[in-house]
Amino acid sequence: MTDVKEMEEAREMEERGYFGEFGGSYIPEILVATFDELLATYREARLDPGFWSEYESLMGSYSCRPTPLTFAENLTRHFGGARIYIKREDLNHTGAHKANNVMGQGLLVRRMGKNRVIAETGAGQHGVATATMAAKFGYRCTIYMGEVDVERQRPNVFWMERLGAEVIPVTEGTRILKDAINEAFRDWVTNMDDTHYVLGTACGPHPFPEMVSWFQSIIGKETRQQVREVTGRLPTRIYACVGGGSNAMGMFGGFLDDDVELVGVEAGGLGLDTSAHASRLASDASSLGVAQGYKTYFLQDEDGQMRETHSVAAGLDYVGVSPILAHHRETGRVRFEAATDAEVLEAFSLTLSKEGLIPALESSHAFVQAFKEAPKLSQDDVIVINQSGRGDKDIFTVADAFEDPKWKAFIRDKAKSYESG
Amino acid sequence: MNLVEHIASERQRKEILLMTHIVIGYPNFDDSLRLVESMVEAGVDLMELQIPFSEPIADGPVILRANQQSLMSGSTVDRCLAFGEEVSRRFDIPFLLMSYYNILFKRGISSFVDSMAAAGLAGAIVPDLPPEEAAEYLEAMGRNDLAPIFIYSPNTTTERMNEIADCAGGFIYCVARKGVTGAETTFSQEFSEYLERCRAATDLPLALGFGVKDKSDVDFLRGRVDIAVVGTQTIRVMEEQGVGSVQGFVEGLR
């Protein structure tokens, strides 16, 4: 009897979007009807095999899917341990795995008959991806972006605006990603009749964590097939960086039932012994909380006020984390590590010089941990790193970090030419 | 006397009750106290005391900035609860606590609610806590005889209104429209139908807030709801004309 009761309770928690004790839906009453509609549309799409094949074919013709799995021959030789493979999500249209999620949600928006989309963005990748989707589907588009991020990611703002999106700099709070999320919610509670909020990661109220993970699971499905074709076996370990958690959820999703070790790598910033990082699951700096509509580990003070975070990679600079990943930490299914800014730049440089690949600074976090562990494994071992995005977007940050004198001279000359012209 | 009885007895004498709102610690704790004093002096019947939170997703720009300012000038949950205790002791109207769920959750729901009761508060409004997630909160509020105030919005289905009424205590806070606090509200025919649906769904008194800003709004609500809630507008008045002008403004509302 108890077993039946426990199973029923577990099923009920799952229905409400809980993964263990994490997740749920903590939303203002005004949004309840909107979430009911989204949940119904999402569930219908999941049950409709035609939906997933339409999604796959759209991603094939619009975004280079399936993305390749690249054997990193030189890095493998360099470390002399495990064979290193790299999943190339950077080859998606707009240069990151973000495209998977936005195109999936774009199809759902069409099913719901809405004609406007809004989104938050940190580094700008999700904003650019959403703007392309809106252009393709013919939706109006507004992107919320913290003022600090607008300043440090101008090229992405430029593209969003060129693509026809309205970009609103958020001047409230700490003026970064979490504040952009709050502002997008404020728009949504006013305009939900014709507007869908394209949340960019596997966080937020139910069904976003589950739904975004589902669209991103295309990464893990492809990788599993590719790695078996090429190596005849499953990988020993898989590495993915963790901001909100969507690329990790997508990659790990293909291997949850396999005997494969899954490693998520967070932003260690200036070090876990400082407060300047964004490590929620690899450090003990976070605690359980409820904000932005869901329950998970947050970097917060003893009163429950959110703390400031730091990372060289804007896309990992976030106070919360996917409730599904929080659950995977609890059960031990995923191991979490952190990489510091300095380690990230080193791994980034090595990858450029050895393989000619340019990973995003976000993705470079996963490379750091893989490089630490590869030498300790044998040639029989296979590891996969998810290169979730491409790094050329980071040209300003990278040039600053390496204090590149020629780049600085170029910017100075460019500025002068505007002043005189 | 619990909140429902208090509202019923006040309604014997007044056609409509007035509830106002402050963000505790904004612009500072001394002025917060002066604000409460002048609002009570002006005859308000209930007050909402908001404990600031770093992520207030249901609030518009005015209250959002008030939250941030209060936190920047050093508000803590302990100081806010002590403030609630002080005003409850000094003034003879019911005070309600308003905050976001994390403020309660972080301290432990049960222990937070016990502190509210010890401070002499009458109930709470937690806008990001739907009844589905509120089991522990409801248990603690019930045990302390505090009113858990829940929210109706124009797109809440009638069936859901009934479910919410089953959990709620004190009164129902009816949100006048979509959107966040502080924006304009048009009181239309559609709006009257919404209020009729609210009235049919519960025996609890109804409060109406979001966009109520002057005497003509309050007059319109007379006979339609039990309590008019004026939130953002008093903060605007204070910011534009100073703390001293709030009493005159509130007196002019009814």
pLDDT in tens, B85-98: 999 999 999 999 99
Q: Is the pLDDT of residue B26 over 90?
A: yes
Contacts of B132 in chain A (CB under 8 A): 16, 25
Length of chain B: 254
Calculate how close chain A gets to B130, using CA atoms only, in Å: 6
Q: Is the pLDDT of residue A2 over 70?
A: no
% pLDDT > 90, chain A: 87
Determine whether the interchain pair A186/B57 forms a contact, defined as Cβ–Cβ distance below 8 Å.
Answer: yes
Calculate how close chain B gets to A32, using CA atoms only, in Å: 8
% pLDDT > 70, chain B: 99
Give me the mean pLDDT over the A87-99 stretch: 97
Candidates B102, B153, B158, partner chain A, best to mutate (most A CBs within 10 A): B102
B184 burial level (CB within 10 Å; 0-12, 13-18, 19+): exposed
Kindly give, in sequence order, each residue whose CB lies less than 8 Å from that of residue A48, ignoring residues fewer than 6 positions away: none
What band does A109 get if pLDDT is binned at 50, 70 and 90? very high
Both tokens of residue A65?
């899917």
User: What's the pLDDT tens digit per position in A323-337?
Assistant: 999 999 999 999 999
Location of structure tokens 């929080």: A326
- The catalytic site residues of A sit at 98, 120, 388
Calculate how close chain A gets to B67, using CA atoms only, in Å: 10
3-class SS of residue B253: coil
The per-residue pLDDT for B181 is 73
Q: Is the pLDDT of residue B186 over 80?
A: no
Show the CA angle centred on residue B107, arms to residues B105 and B112, nearest 5°.
90
Of B55, B77, B127, Cβ closest to residue A306: B55
What is the CATH number assigned to the segment(s) B3-248?
3.20.20.70
The per-residue pLDDT for B1 is 65
Partner A contacted by B77 (CB < 8 A): yes
User: What's the pLDDT tens digit per position in B112-142?
Assistant: 999 999 999 999 999 999 999 999 999 999 9
**Neighbouring-strand partners of residue A268:** none
In A, minimum Cα distance to B103 occurs at: A304
What band does A38 get if pLDDT is binned at 50, 70 and 90? very high
What is the overall mean pLDDT for chain A? 95
Cα separation, A223 vs A218, whole angstroms: 9
Determine whether the interchain pair A25/B157 forms a contact, defined as Cβ–Cβ distance below 8 Å.
Answer: no
**Neighbouring-strand partners of residue A240:** A264
Give me the mean pLDDT over the A181-198 stretch: 94
Q: A19-61+98-208 domain in CATH 3.40.50.1100?
A: yes
Q: Where are the domains of chain B?
A: 3-248
- Inter-residue contact A338 to A283 (CB < 8 Å): yes
Q: A64-95+216-401 domain in CATH 1.10.10.10?
A: no
Give me the mean pLDDT over the A158-187 stretch: 92
Determine whether the interchain pair A304/B60 forms a contact, defined as Cβ–Cβ distance below 8 Å.
Answer: no
Cα separation, A341 vs A361, whole angstroms: 9
Give me the mean pLDDT over the A371-386 stretch: 98
- Sign of the torsion angle spanned by Cα atoms A248, A251, A253, A256: negative
Partner A contacted by B65 (CB < 8 A): yes
The per-residue pLDDT for A421 is 66
ipTM of the complex: 0.95
Strands A18-19 and A22-23: antiparallel
% pLDDT > 70, chain A: 99
Determine whether the interchain pair B55/A173 forms a contact, defined as Cβ–Cβ distance below 8 Å.
Answer: yes
What's this model's pTM, rounded to 2 decimal places?
0.96
The per-residue pLDDT for A5 is 85
Calculate how close chain B gets to A123, using CA atoms only, in Å: 20
User: What's the pLDDT tens digit per position in A45-83?
Assistant: 999 999 999 999 999 999 999 999 999 999 999 999 999
What band does B188 get if pLDDT is binned at 50, 70 and 90? confident
- Inter-residue contact A298 to A291 (CB < 8 Å): yes
Name the nearest CA neighbour of A240 among A255, A257, A259, A228: A255
Contacts of B178 in chain A (CB under 8 A): 30, 189-192
Show the CA angle centred on residue A323, arms to residues B150 and A302, nearest 5°.
70
User: What's the pLDDT tens digit per position in A12-31?
Assistant: 888 899 999 999 999 999 99
Cα separation, B60 vs B127, whole angstroms: 13
Residue ranges of chain A assigned to CATH 3.40.50.1100 = 19-61+98-208, 64-95+216-401
Of B151, B155, B164, Cβ closest to residue A33: B155
- Inter-residue contact A220 to A246 (CB < 8 Å): no
Show the CA angle centred on residue B34, arms to residues B207 and B9, nearest 5°.
35
Partner A contacted by B173 (CB < 8 A): no
Q: Is the pLDDT of residue A151 over 90?
A: no
